[in-house]
Amino acid sequence: SVKAIIIILFLYVMERMNREHPARRISSEYLGGRPHEQDDQNIKQVVEQLLKIADEINRNAELQRLVNQVEGNCAQDIFTTVARSIFSDGINWGRIVALFHLAYKLIYRAISTNHIENIRLVISWVLQVIKDQLYSWIVQQGGWEGVIRGFTRWRTVAIVASIALVASLVYYRKTR
């Protein structure tokens, strides 16, 4: 459901921020959610697996350099172009995490630069990409819980996803 996607994204962003920037604790409400909506244990397990995949992706220095070059106030068409190119040759959990990671970086930049209005924009863009491109695939995998069942192979997938994201961002830079 759309609500589950939003809660997973919110919790992913909150956990990522708490790990990378512990002094900047944020709540679901700050992102536009409701109190305690992220307390569901299944959602917590899904997010924990997504974060493990993201840790693998995060180790890629080239990826980090390129993600940092995407403007915090980028337009939706730029975000959508990068998102489409992430999934241009297939969908897997690692690539979905790459999308969440890009969203996290943009949300973090919005918070850091006090452009809070951009948070909802980025969230709406992610939702649009999921609805347009990923929802059917996620359902075919058994929903978000599919990431829990398949985690053992996601290390390899995470590396492939980071390469895909790097390629996407190189494409983005060349088309700017």
Look at residue 126 and tell me whether its pLDDT is greater than 90: yes
What pLDDT does residue 146 have? 83
pLDDT digits (tens, 9 = 90+) for 5-15: 888 998 999 99
Give me the torsion for CA of 17, 19, 20, 26, rounded to 10°. 30
Q: What is the pTM of this model?
A: 0.78
Predicted confidence (pLDDT) at residue 97 exceeds the cutoff of 60:
yes
pLDDT tens digit sequence for 98-120: 889 888 888 888 888 888 888 88
Can you read off the two tokens belonging to residue 143?
Answer: 């929903």
Confidence band (pLDDT; 50, 70, 90) for 135? very high
pLDDT value at residue 125? 92
